Amino acid sequence: MGIDAGSGGKVEDLHFFYEQVKQVHGRGLWQTEGTAKKAATLPYLWKFEDFRPLLFKATEMVPIELAERRVLVMANPGITSDWQASSTMLANLQIILPGEVARSHRHSASALRLVIEGTGAYTAVNGEKSYMEPGDFVTTPNWTWHDHGNEGDSAMIWLDGLDVPLIQATETNFYEVYEAEQYPIVTPDDMSIRLFGGGALKPSWVKHNQYFSPLLNYKFTKTYETLKAMSEHTDGSPHDGISVEYANPMTGGPALATIACFASLLAPGLRTKAHRHTGGTIYHVIKGKGRSIIQGKVFHWSEKDTFVVPSWHWHEHQAESESVLFSYSDSPVITPLGLYYEEALKEDNGHQKIEGTFEALPVPERGGGVQQRRTHSK
Amino acid sequence: MGIDAGSGGKVEDLHFFYEQVKQVHGRGLWQTEGTAKKAATLPYLWKFEDFRPLLFKATEMVPIELAERRVLVMANPGITSDWQASSTMLANLQIILPGEVARSHRHSASALRLVIEGTGAYTAVNGEKSYMEPGDFVTTPNWTWHDHGNEGDSAMIWLDGLDVPLIQATETNFYEVYEAEQYPIVTPDDMSIRLFGGGALKPSWVKHNQYFSPLLNYKFTKTYETLKAMSEHTDGSPHDGISVEYANPMTGGPALATIACFASLLAPGLRTKAHRHTGGTIYHVIKGKGRSIIQGKVFHWSEKDTFVVPSWHWHEHQAESESVLFSYSDSPVITPLGLYYEEALKEDNGHQKIEGTFEALPVPERGGGVQQRRTHSK
Amino acid sequence: MGIDAGSGGKVEDLHFFYEQVKQVHGRGLWQTEGTAKKAATLPYLWKFEDFRPLLFKATEMVPIELAERRVLVMANPGITSDWQASSTMLANLQIILPGEVARSHRHSASALRLVIEGTGAYTAVNGEKSYMEPGDFVTTPNWTWHDHGNEGDSAMIWLDGLDVPLIQATETNFYEVYEAEQYPIVTPDDMSIRLFGGGALKPSWVKHNQYFSPLLNYKFTKTYETLKAMSEHTDGSPHDGISVEYANPMTGGPALATIACFASLLAPGLRTKAHRHTGGTIYHVIKGKGRSIIQGKVFHWSEKDTFVVPSWHWHEHQAESESVLFSYSDSPVITPLGLYYEEALKEDNGHQKIEGTFEALPVPERGGGVQQRRTHSK
Amino acid sequence: MGIDAGSGGKVEDLHFFYEQVKQVHGRGLWQTEGTAKKAATLPYLWKFEDFRPLLFKATEMVPIELAERRVLVMANPGITSDWQASSTMLANLQIILPGEVARSHRHSASALRLVIEGTGAYTAVNGEKSYMEPGDFVTTPNWTWHDHGNEGDSAMIWLDGLDVPLIQATETNFYEVYEAEQYPIVTPDDMSIRLFGGGALKPSWVKHNQYFSPLLNYKFTKTYETLKAMSEHTDGSPHDGISVEYANPMTGGPALATIACFASLLAPGLRTKAHRHTGGTIYHVIKGKGRSIIQGKVFHWSEKDTFVVPSWHWHEHQAESESVLFSYSDSPVITPLGLYYEEALKEDNGHQKIEGTFEALPVPERGGGVQQRRTHSK
């Protein structure tokens, strides 16, 4: 800004002035720019093959009773907090062994599960159990009691998505442990699927005025069948292929108050066109193999990998084999505030110039953590 | 009111005064009460067995090209217009023979079909065909081009529900005939089922900001399967049994802008509890046999019959065999205006005193009074 | 339609068939068209100078205790019911003498007052009094207790607007008389003006989740001042001049659930451009002199006159002297149903060809046909 | 958590495991708790008398051309970023000298001004000027061009409120400098007051579908007059006294998409009752003298001071002389997400136990900045 040099007063006067301002917990606005950088969400990819052995290792090292949830976070190296995948969301991997129970608690943060491996475990929400299978999308809406238990005979692994950084940023974090290990079962298993999973048929006697979907488990078999049926006669979205939102059947809105969730089918060889929009998005590969190009860099992915596209980053996808991408985004937070912007790439028929390939970053010696005001020009 | 007798002036002065008022197209408000009765919706039931032979007779008497639609209306004897089933809605029976086409038109009135007999006929809406089977609920939303054709080898009959009296009461009637017999097919058959019938999964790339559901056909097989699945673990509504609303998957709202539509499963022997609410409701028996008690009177119904429960009339249902009732109501019109009221019967454990049995009314001698369909061309 | 002549069968067979259909309370849909005409809203104008002496005459002839309200309706000669001004609304003139009270009642119909003459009378709504002055727009929302009393020393006259025909068409009419002559005063006079009249400032502690505005009286002095201030820098709407909607300050929506209300300032000499839209509109001349052209016909109006523009009729206004038109419309009913359509006249710079001048219609000999007010007790 | 000690493996194995996890940018979720604390919003108060001389000093030291805006931020000592007043908002003081112009720019952050001293300066938004006086509440909605200029003959000081931390947390920050110093004036001065300031009267021809209020300046004279008129007959809110929200007249919603703004009149001697709610709130004393008790601690305030009540902190107010408090809150962000919770204090007639008096914190040697998950129990 050049104020130090260019101001009317001498530099020593200026520094004396700054010190005076500091004493009253003030600051020159001009001092806050460019002097320190806040790290920001980086486009990043975590390989499942890296995490899988560590998850099993964790089952040996970390008793579930001590950890409450046996979870490894995928930390975005661009963010100093060391545990967020994006500016507002977490992407974690949870493992639960046969016979284990992850005890009941509730929080104002919203959570979702996308099942990766195993069968026989359930999620129970407010006393309704749903057994989970690979590809299932399971909701645990904010402030609902939930626990998990594995009644099968193999380990079960899933992706946990949460909005905790947003909850922290707004200082609205509430958390409570249930008085017993498990909330009592008060509803028949999968009752919500019976009531709300039947297509565009809404039980007329059920009042549900909450901010989230009443449907607890969107079964993958149905999702996949729906995507395939659509794909016979349409190419879907130019940017996302055949893409469905897991909707709240009572409103058509997002499944969770703060998180919109999607499944996208990409035909083998399909290359979508690039666009960018505000709102960070985390992708998880349910099925298939391919690559995404994010801000000019190629990210190769295969089944069970997880990657993040930060807000306002160009991105496009290309499937090598038939692929299904699960994704979740904080768009429900920013859209009602007028902060959702979107832009399609016009150049080169909608395709970015490729400028490199993603490589995992080395782990830095900690200490940095500078702040930056990120400024886009819309 | 006793004004004639009780007024300060002499009766002849009063009548002279009334005449003066009349000359300027005025009227005393007090004159408008109690002197004459406006006919109002009566609870009524039309037996399908009465209408079926007449529908086939009509196929001999009335060429479809001349009638535009070969339709018999079920006229509520309480309403002088001679063609409405309720204060705001029509309930008609349509028959179409193999090889016939009911030509394309559109109107600001909303319409629905509930299929009664036959297969092989389709409804096409804005260029998308859906073949219909018994029990299917099919929408033709307001101002969409639609035609019907029978490609099968037997006659097909369905119930037509429309909101024409409402459209007339608000003088918003528009009607247009398509330039050719049929609107061109521009969309794969049943594309809307692929896009919107898949449960709580919403195609992310489709913009649909209309006042009505984008889903054209809610197949009965799915509706019945959903009702049965629900019924295993709940009794549903005390007033309606296991009851689903055919919802707009984009909003959770009613299927049509002006008409809410439902399917209710009544277990054999079940007797629901009486309630009353504003909004007229027309019922059609998809399946089963039983009776409804409306304002103390018993209405016996069996498969394919149609009956109407007027606004603010007590009603309860009792199934003899497993029954599915289709119903449609004008509640979307009155609810946003603050005019929806509901009340459950408290006395006698929610059951009305039975005071008689419905019998068809004789047809009165009447001096005409057929209403015109007013048509603007928008 | 030519079915009688053109059908396959003989004419006598057809008539026999029609009779059979009639016996089961059925009807051929094709029979309902074109055979008889339902009267429809006519563009019409009622001169205040015709009604004023009759209102005073009524004070002699009709004691207020007997009439409940001493009101003359302005009946649209196009509508057989003999008491509606438009398809869905009433436009009535009420007179109340010094010392009189129009007793407390409530109804599901919504009502408004536009004050024409006098001061010293109040409207009390749910126990809050507001004294009225010429030009004031006063609401009595649906199902609120209200009474009027004249504490001044001259007669007071106002326009009553109501949605009764709509309420009848939907069979949602409820009406109740209060147990005493007047509902007790429980709120300071004009409290609603203090709370909600202060511009875009909303009392933060007041919950008001009703379908109508909490503001009971929109004072004309403020309305006029606002219109004049706007007019210094804008011409407002091409169709309505400087036109404001009396809004619900809690939502920005219409003042009443079913009726949108407006005040429009027309500069001397201004001629607006013609448009047409669905929704019937009733105009009342608060101030000024001019003419409106409705569907090609000239309607001359001056202060205190009332006229109606039916749904989908071309209309434009022209002021001779500075004029303020009050108007009310059923647009809140039809708009959420997708039935609001609007079109601006493109030809001749937006001006209609003039084809005649309005003249009052003679009163026909008519065989009664007075409509009953149907009353439920909720 | 005790995992280090209690785990099955040896401590050195655990540390080796943690290192492996770290290498793939993972982390044990259990590691993220309690190890590092995020500083959180502290209840805090900044005295205007401390900042006023520094603002004038800044006019000597910092040329406006270099600083873009000559602004001192009030930094919450609980938050490491060193420039936020609360978790999501800024509270800054801006000074502009006669003849100066703060050049035109726009940003996706929303901003408000509350005028403290001086007259003769204007804010121009998208080409409409509004001259500002003490107490005026002025909006510069997100992504609108705005500049300020002082045409008077004395310095002008105001409070700037912005949502920049929220915008950063969601990575939706956009910022653009206008090509010239000032955006051209395209609208008459204070046109928005003419159009939208006139109470519950909405210009019928203006389309405004934005996320923010179209009214640019809510004049203090009107606000004060409204508050006083209300206060004659009500005590208003038990927690806030006579309190109005500056509303969007088109929707009744908040003035800015992300910030709700209020003015509260406290009668001399009035002591409100304590409550707590989510959503951070910044208060500014327009007028008067008194104290607020926040989480048991007394904060003495007088005219022009600024203080913050963090999310979920008990607070109550007590006025010594008649006071008007301006306040702004991030409640519009959290409420639609289901994250707004509120609770009134039940004990001791709604009054907190006083446990101390606020004193300004010393300025720490920088270096800390640890992170904490704040957990309330609702």
Residue A369 distance to chain B (closest CA, Å): 37
- Domain chopping of chain C, boundaries: 44-189+215-357
CA torsion sign for A115, A120, A125, A128 is: positive
pLDDT at C88 over 90: yes
- What pLDDT was estimated at residue C33? 66
Geometric angle at alpha carbon A294, from A288 and A296, rounded to 5°: 125
Query: Please, which pLDDT band fits residue A9 given cuts at 50, 70 and 90?
Result: low
pTM, to two decimals? 0.92
- What pLDDT was estimated at residue A37? 42
> Which two tokens mark C169?
């068409």
> Which two tokens mark C84?
């509606």
Closest CB to C46 among B24, B332, B372: B24
- What pLDDT was estimated at residue D302? 98
Q: Which residues of chain A from 57 to 76 reach within 8 Å of chain D, CB to CB? A: 57-58, 60-63, 66-69, 71-76
Write out B35-73 in H/E/C secondary structure. Answer: CCCCCCCCCEEECHHHHHHHHHHHHHHCCHHHHCCCEEE
Cβ burial, residue C184 (10 Å; 0-12/13-18/19+): exposed
Q: What is the rounded average pLDDT of the residues D75-87? A: 91
Query: Please, which pLDDT band fits residue C68 given cuts at 50, 70 and 90?
Result: confident
- What pLDDT was estimated at residue B372? 35
Write out B258-283 in H/E/C secondary structure. Answer: CCEEEEEEECCCCECCCEEECCCEEE
% of chain C surpassing 90 pLDDT: 82
pLDDT at A75 over 80: yes
pLDDT at D81 over 60: yes
Q: Dump pLDDT digits (tens) for D264-316.
A: 999 999 999 999 999 999 999 999 999 999 999 999 999 999 999 999 999 99
Q: What is the rounded average pLDDT of the residues C165-174? A: 94
Q: C56 CB contacts (<8 Å, ≥6 apart)?
A: C95, C155
Residue B193 distance to chain A (closest CA, Å): 9
Tell whether D180 is within 8 A of chain A (Cβ): no
Out of A66-70, C25-29, C76-80, D242-246, which region has the weakest mean confidence (pLDDT)? Answer: A66-70
Kindly determine whether residue A171 and residue D71, on different chains, have CB atoms separated by under 8 Å.
no
Report the distance separating Cα C176 and Cα C180, nearest Å.
Answer: 12
Interface size between A and B, measured as CB pairs under 8 A: 141
Which of B165, B156, B364 is closest to B258 using CA atoms? B165
pLDDT at A1 over 50: no
Who wins on pLDDT, D67 or B200? Answer: B200
Contact B348, B355 (CB under 8 A): no
Geometric angle at alpha carbon D133, from D127 and D137, rounded to 5°: 70
- What pLDDT was estimated at residue B67? 78
Compute the mean pLDDT over every residue in chain D, rounded to the nearest whole number: 91
Q: What is the rounded average pLDDT of the residues B246-260? A: 96
Query: Please, which pLDDT band fits residue C35 given cuts at 50, 70 and 90?
Result: very low
Tell whether A50 is within 8 A of chain D (Cβ): yes
ipTM, two decimals, is 0.91
- What pLDDT was estimated at residue A8? 52
- What pLDDT was estimated at residue B368? 41
Tell whether C127 is within 8 A of chain B (Cβ): no
Q: What is the rounded average pLDDT of the residues D74-103? A: 94
Kindly determine whether residue A229 and residue B203, on different chains, have CB atoms separated by under 8 Å.
no
Who wins on pLDDT, C190 or C374? Answer: C190
User: Which chain A residues are within 8 Å of B243, Cβ to Cβ?
Assistant: 203-205
Contact C262, C296 (CB under 8 A): no
- H or E element that contains C332: helix C331-334
% of chain B surpassing 70 pLDDT: 92
Q: What is the rounded average pLDDT of the residues B33-43? A: 64
pLDDT at D375 over 70: no
Kindly determine whether residue D67 and residue A28, on different chains, have CB atoms separated by under 8 Å.
yes
Contact B138, B120 (CB under 8 A): no
User: Which chain D residues are within 8 Å of C225, Cβ to Cβ?
Assistant: 198
- DSSP strand E in D109-180: where? 111-117, 121-125, 128-131, 137-140, 146-150, 156-162, 175-177
Residue for token digits 């907090």? Answer: A81
- DSSP labels, D42-69: PPEEE-HHHHHHHHHHHHHHS-HHHHSS
- What pLDDT was estimated at residue D118? 96
Tell whether D11 is within 8 A of chain A (Cβ): no
- What pLDDT was estimated at residue B39? 55
Query: Please, which pLDDT band fits residue B370 given cuts at 50, 70 and 90?
Result: very low
Q: Dump pLDDT digits (tens) for C126-148.
A: 999 999 999 999 999 999 999 99
Tell whether D268 is within 8 A of chain C (Cβ): no
Sheet holding B101-107, edge to edge: B128-131, B121-125, B146-150, B101-107, B175-177
**What is residue B231's three-state secondary structure?**
helix
- What pLDDT was estimated at residue A237? 97
pLDDT at B253 over 50: yes
Contact B153, B144 (CB under 8 A): no
Q: Which residue of A has its CA nearest to D329?
A: A170
Who wins on pLDDT, C10 or C115? Answer: C115
Contact B246, B290 (CB under 8 A): no
User: Which chain B residues are within 8 Å of A240, Cβ to Cβ?
Assistant: 204-205
Query: Please, which pLDDT band fits residue D42 given cuts at 50, 70 and 90?
Result: very high
CATH entry, A44-189+215-357, from 1.10.10.10, 3.40.50.10480, 2.60.120.10, 3.30.930.10: 2.60.120.10
pLDDT at A24 over 50: yes
Closest CB to B27 among C40, C72, C376: C72
Rg of chain D, C-alpha, whole Å = 23
Q: What is the rounded average pLDDT of the residues A180-193? A: 94
Residue C225 distance to chain B (closest CA, Å): 31
Q: What is the rounded average pLDDT of the residues C47-76? A: 92
pLDDT at B290 over 60: yes
pLDDT at D106 over 80: yes
Please count the CA atoms within 13 angstroms of the CA of A21 that sit on its side-chain side.
27
Q: A178 CB contacts (<8 Å, ≥6 apart)?
A: A103, A104, A105, A106, A145, A147
- What pLDDT was estimated at residue B9? 54
Q: What is the rounded average pLDDT of the residues C159-188? A: 95
Residue D73 distance to chain A (closest CA, Å): 5
User: Which chain C residues are within 8 Å of B10, Cβ to Cβ?
Assistant: none
- What pLDDT was estimated at residue A336? 95
- H or E element that contains C158: strand C156-162
Residue B157 distance to chain A (closest CA, Å): 24
Closest CB to C230 among D195, D213, D242: D195
Geometric angle at alpha carbon C281, from C276 and C282, rounded to 5°: 140
Kindly determine whether residue C14 and residue B61, on different chains, have CB atoms separated by under 8 Å.
yes
Q: What is the rounded average pLDDT of the residues B228-243? A: 96
Q: Dump pLDDT digits (tens) for B57-107.
A: 999 988 888 778 899 999 999 998 888 999 999 999 999 999 999 999 999
Closest CB to D200 among C205, C249, C262: C249
Tell whether D194 is within 8 A of chain C (Cβ): yes
Report the distance separating Cα C141 and Cα C250, nearest Å.
Answer: 15
Tell whether B139 is within 8 A of chain C (Cβ): no
At residue A347, φ and ψ (nearest 5 deg) are -70, 155
- What pLDDT was estimated at residue D364? 67
Q: Dump pLDDT digits (tens) for A108-165.
A: 999 999 999 999 999 999 999 999 999 999 999 999 999 999 999 999 999 999 999 9
Q: What is the rounded average pLDDT of the residues D11-19? A: 86
Compute the mean pLDDT over every residue in chain C, rounded to the nearest whole number: 91
Query: Please, which pLDDT band fits residue D35 given cuts at 50, 70 and 90?
Result: very low
Q: How many CB atoms lie within 10 A of CB C102?
A: 23
Compute the mean pLDDT over every residue in chain B, rounded to the nearest whole number: 91
Query: Please, which pLDDT band fits residue C9 given cuts at 50, 70 and 90?
Result: low
Residue C228 distance to chain B (closest CA, Å): 33
Kindly determine whether residue B278 and residue C77, on different chains, have CB atoms separated by under 8 Å.
no
Q: Dump pLDDT digits (tens) for C336-378.
A: 999 999 999 999 999 999 999 999 998 866 544 333 333 455 5
Closest CB to A200 among B204, B237, B249: B249
Contact C293, C274 (CB under 8 A): yes
- H or E element that contains B115: strand B111-117
Q: Dump pLDDT digits (tens) for D127-162.
A: 999 999 999 999 999 999 999 999 999 999 999 999
- H or E element that contains B176: strand B175-177
- What pLDDT was estimated at residue D39? 54
Q: What is the rounded average pLDDT of the residues C217-241? A: 96
